[in-house]
Structure 1
Amino acid sequence: MPTPPPTGPLVTRDTLAADLRTLGVRAGETLLVHSSLSALGWVNGGAVTVVQGLLDALGPDGTLVVPTQSGHLSDPALWGHPPVPEEWWPTIRATMPVYDPRVTPSRGVGVIPEAVRTWPGARRSAHPHTSFTAVGPGAAAVTDGHAADCRLGERSPLARLEAGGARVLLLGAGYDACTSFHLAEYRIPSPVVEVGRPSPTGWESVREVSISSEMFEELGSDFERDRPVVQGYVGAARGRLFPVADAVAYAERWLPVHRPRDLDARTAAPGGPGPRRRP
Structure 2
Amino acid sequence: MPTPPPTGPLVTRDTVATQLRLLGVEPGEILLVHSSLSSLGWVNGGAVAVVRGLLDALGPAGTLVVPAQSGDLSDPAVWGNPPVPEEWWDRIRATMPPYDPLVTPARGVGVLPETVRTWPGALRSAHPQTSFAAVGPHAREITEGHAPDCRLGELSPLARLEELGARVLLLGAGYATCTCFHLAEYRIPAPRVAVGRPAPGGGWETVVEVSISSEQFDELGHDFERDRTVVRGKVGAAEVRLFPVADAVAYAERWLPLHRPREEDFPYPHV
SS at match of 1:206: strand
Question: Could you tell me which residue of structure 2 aligns to residue 235 of structure 1?
Answer: 236
Give the Cα separation in 2 of the matches to 1:226 and 1:239. Answer: 18
> Match for 2:266 among 259, 263, 266?
263
AA in 2 matched with 1:258 = H
Give the Cα separation in 2 of the matches to 1:266 and 1:248. Answer: 25
Question: Could you tell me which residue of structure 1 aligns to residue 108 of structure 2?
Answer: 108
Structure 1 unmatched ranges of 5 or more: 268-279
SS at match of 2:168: strand
SS at match of 2:89: helix
AA in 1 matched with 2:157 = P
Aligned residues: 267
Question: Could you tell me which residue of structure 1 aligns to residue 162 of structure 2?
Answer: 162
After superposing on structure 2, the runs of 4+ consecutive aligned residues of structure 1 that deviate more than 6 Å are none
Q: TM-score, normalization: structure 2?
A: 0.97
Describe how 1:161-200 pairs up with structure 2 within 5 A: 161-199=161-199, 200=201
SS at match of 1:66: strand
Question: Could you tell me which residue of structure 2 aligns to residue 271 of structure 1?
Answer: none
Shift of 1:264: 1.3
* Cα contact 2:41–2:237 (8 A) shared by 1: yes
Question: Could you tell me which residue of structure 2 aligns to residue 17 of structure 1?
Answer: 17
Shift of 1:32: 0.1
Q: Which of structures 1 and 2 has the larger relative contact order (alpha carbons within 8 angstroms, sep 6+)?
A: 1
* Cα contact 1:228–1:242 (8 A) shared by 2: yes
Shift of 1:152: 0.2
RMSD after superposition: 0.9
Q: TM-score, normalization: structure 1?
A: 0.95
Shift of 1:34: 0.1
Question: For each residue in 1:155-178, what CA deviation from the matched residue of structure 2 results, as whole angstroms up to 9, or x when unmatched?
Answer: 000000001000000000000000
SS at match of 1:126: coil
AA in 2 matched with 1:197 = R
SS at match of 1:165: coil
Q: Which deviates more from structure 2 when the two are superposed, residues 118-127 or residues 199-208? A: 199-208
Give the Cα separation in 2 of the matches to 1:264 and 1:47. Answer: 37
Question: Could you tell me which residue of structure 1 aligns to residue 69 of structure 2?
Answer: 69
The sequence identity of aligned pairs, in percent, is 78
Question: Could you tell me which residue of structure 2 aligns to residue 244 of structure 1?
Answer: 245
Shift of 1:109: 0.2
* Cα contact 1:127–1:148 (8 A) shared by 2: yes
Question: For each residue in 1:179-213, what CA deviation from the matched residue of structure 2 results, as whole angstroms up to 9, or x when unmatched?
Answer: 00000000000001000000114200000000000
Shift of 1:263: 3.4
* Cα contact 1:212–1:266 (8 A) shared by 2: no
AA in 2 matched with 1:142 = I
SS at match of 2:64: strand
